[in-house]
Structure 1
Amino acid sequence: MWRVVQQIIIILLLIIFLASLPMMIMVDPDSQSIKLDVQQLPEVYGQFFTNLMEGSLGTYQLGYQERSIALDISDNFFTSLSIMLMGVNSAILISIVFGIFISRFKITRVFGAILNILATIPDFIIILLSMILAVNFYKITGIRIISMRPEAGALNLWFPIILTGFAPTVYLFKLIAVKYYQTGGEDYIRTAVAKGMKLNYINFQHVFKNIEPFIAAELIKVISLGIGNLFIIEYILNVPGITKFIFQSAEIQPIAVGLICMLIISLLVFLSVKLVFFLFKRGFIYE
């Protein structure tokens, strides 16, 4: 328990340090060199924890208005959390279904070929191209599928969810496809086939049970890919998410709070995937 507390404290201090870096990096006009002024760190840490002890998260500047972070953060937090939860969990579900349970069908080969082509394109370019296609689709059909207005509701969610889940889907599907090919050559799989067991039974009871640890081991990488895309998507599509506190403010307090919220979102997504795996194994896998 004490080790967990220590890790939380260290992570919190590191986040505040990262948030204060823009303020501490200075250019010496005489030597034209970059200097790091760490003398402000005690004041920065003191101000942050003072606000917390006072029951406040501080304020941030929005245009010409100074607003309370605590009053605005809940809606933004749940918007980002919803996008990450649905994006990452959908990516894992699609990768498992195509990579294991319907891998023998032709549609999986087509799906894999499309992902391999898209994997050669940087995520940032794919996001921009998808926006251009969405705008052209609106011009041709008159049907709006994306919106740049923060109050657009569902239009601000489903498109970011797809884009957020794209990179995790590409990464995880390729991993599962390789592991499925390797597992299919194992002796216990050949023995199960020789005994006349049905393919779906083998996939559920043998293949998935042996691939699931590899998925769990790569889960942090999968979530980090989703978080990386979320930063780009919320900024470009003007989604009212938690990254607003990071991008739209030069102050330390909102940046630190935004980064901490991102860490909490990552943890909640991680726990949600673990819960889904637990329920899936309890319902379909014989231990």
Structure 2
Amino acid sequence: MVRAVQQIFIIFVLILLLAALPKIVSVDPMEGGLEWNFGSLHEIYGDFIMEISHGSLGSYQLGRQTRPIAEDIGDNFLTSLQIVLTGVISAVFISLLFGVFISRFRPTKIFGMMFNILAAIPDFIIIVMSMILAVKVYKVTGIRVISLRPDGGALNTWFPTMLVAIAPTLYLFKLVSVKYYQTSGEDYIKTAVAKGMGLSYINFQHVYKNIEPFIKAELVKVISLAIGNLFIIEYIMNVSGITKFVFQSHEVQPIAIGLFAMLLISLIVYVSIRLLFYLFKRGFIYE
């Protein structure tokens, strides 16, 4: 319990410190170096805590308007949560499907080769290339697959969701594929094959049970990959997500609220994935 409180306190301090960087860092015009004004930190922390204690999330600047964060954060939070949650669930599903359950089929090997090629390309390049390809598709076919308008509806969410899922899928698929081939060479798998058990049964009851702990252990990194790409995608695709409070303001309050909201999204996605693993294991895996 004490350790959990310490971790929460450290996270709180670090997030506010990160949000306060535009205020405490400045450029010395004479020497051209950086100046650090740590003396204002106590005021920044005090103002943030005071604002929250009054039941307000503060306000942020939207163009020439000053809007309360509490009125806008709900829809933005749900948009980002939907994108990240759907993207990570898709990454886990695709990785397990092609890495374990249908890995023996020839098309899966072609799929794996394509993923290995994409894994060598930086995420930002993949995102930009995907947007260029979407524009080319629109020019050739007249079919609009993306929208750069904040009110684009489904067109403004499904394509960002796909892009968010790419990096976690590439990482998880490679991990699952390696662990699958390692597990397939174990003695208990050879014994199960020698006893005449079906391949699907072995994949479900033996291989998956030994791969699942590795996926759970890497789940935090998978979510961090999705969150990292979300910052890029929401910015360049003009998605009205939670990163709007980080990018469109230079004030501490909206940046801090945006970062705390991203942390909450990560926690919700992590708990949701663990719950799905639990339900899947209870429904399909024999203990």
Which TM bucket (shorter chain)? Answer: over 0.9
The aligned runs of 1:204-243 (5 Å cut-off) are 204-243=204-243
Partner of 1:163: 163
The corresponding residue for 1:33 is 33
* C-alpha deviation, 1:28, in angstroms: 2.3
1:176 aligns with 2:166: no
Partner AA of 2:19 in structure 1:
A
> Partner of 2:60: helix, strand, or coil?
strand
SS of 2:151 mapped into structure 1: coil
State the partner residue of 1:3.
3
1:75-114 to structure 2, matched below 5 A, reads 75-114=75-114
**Do residues 17 (structure 1) and 23 (structure 2) align?**
no
Q: Deviations over 1:121-156 (max 9, x none)?
A: 111111111111111111111111100110111111
Determine whether 1:151 maps to 2:151.
Answer: yes
1:111 counterpart letter in structure 2: F
- Mapped partners of 1:105, 1:81: distance in 2: 34
What is the deviation of 1:47?
0.6
String of CA shifts for 1:66-117, please: whole Å, max 9, x gaps.
0000110000000000000100010000000100000000111111111111
Distance 1:120 1:199 in 2: 32
**d(CA) in 2 for partners of 1:26, 1:137:** 45
Which whole-Å deviations, capped at 9, do the CAs of 1:36-93 have from their partners, x for residues lacking one? 1101001100110111011001110010000000110000000000000100010000
TM-score using structure 2 length: 0.98
Q: Percent identity?
A: 66
Deviation at 1:9, TM superposition (A): 2.0
Structure 1 residue 67 and structure 2 residue 38: aligned?
Answer: no
CA distance in 1, matches of 2:118, 2:7: 38
- Return the alpha-carbon distance in structure 2 between the equivalents of residues 216 and 160 of structure 1: 25
> How far apart are the structure 2 equivalents of 1:9 and 1:181?
42
Match status 1:121 vs 2:92: no
Amino acid at match of 2:48: F
CA deviations on 1:130-185 (whole Å, 9 max, x unpaired) are: 11111111111111110011011111111011100000000000011000000000
Letter in 2 for 1:265: I
CA displacement at 1:32 relative to structure 2: 2.6
* Alpha-carbon distance between aligned partners in 1 of 2:167 and 2:265, rounded to the nearest angstrom: 18
CA distance in 1, matches of 2:17, 2:119: 34
In structure 2, runs of 5+ residues without a counterpart are none
Displacement of 1:264 after TM fit? 0.4
Structure 1 window deviating more from structure 2 (124-133 vs 275-284): it is 124-133
Q: Which amino acid aligns with 2:47?
A: Q
Structure 1, unmatched stretches of 5+, are none
Shift in Å at residue 27 of structure 1? Answer: 2.0
Q: Give, as a single letter, the amino acid of the residue that structure 2 aligns with 1:135.
A: V
Separation of aligned partners in 1, 2:246 and 2:146: 23
How far residue 6 of structure 1 moved from its aligned partner, in angstroms, is 2.6
CA–CA separation in structure 2 for the residues paired with 1:143 and 1:32: 51
Amino acid at match of 1:93: F
2:281 alignment partner in structure 1: 281
Cα deviation 1:3-38 (Å, max 9, x = unaligned): 322321221111001100111112223333212110
TM-score by length of 1: 0.98
Deviation >6 Å, runs of 4+: none
Q: Which amino acid aligns with 1:136?
A: K
